[in-house]
Amino acid sequence: MFLEPVTPSTIIETTQKLKSKSSFGHDGISSKILKHSIYIIAVPITHIINRYFANSLVPGKLKLAKVIPIFKSTDSSQIKKYRPINLLPVLSKLL
């Protein structure tokens, strides 16, 4: 499998399609923050992602998710009344 290098305009376009949320993964960056700063950091992010593609390697930290239990119904003492929410690092979403 071969992946074409991405361009800054592709990164900006993809970022703008992300839902604007203030929740964040273990990297501490929300999609809302990324959307506000993408025009400034598009070139470095593009370089990083293209390096991942060139090396066929995704760093382990981008594969980690922060899992939060969300209460979904009446009895909060029962563990089955919670559902897991996975919060990925924002750069993982761009990949």
* Residues 93 and 31: beta-carbon distance below 8 Å: yes
Quick: pLDDT tens for 35-67: 999 999 999 999 999 998 888 888 888 888 888
What confidence tier does 2 reach under pLDDT thresholds 50, 70, 90?
A: low
44 falls within a domain: yes
* Residues 24 and 30: beta-carbon distance below 8 Å: yes
32 falls within a domain: yes
The residue among 29, 94, 89, 30 whose CA lies nearest residue 61 is: 89
Largest CA distance in the chain: 50
80 falls within a domain: yes
* Averaged pLDDT, 24-32: 85
The number of distinct structural domains making up the chain is 1
Q: What is the domain extent for residue 88?
A: 8-94
The counts of H helices and E strands in the chain are 3, 2
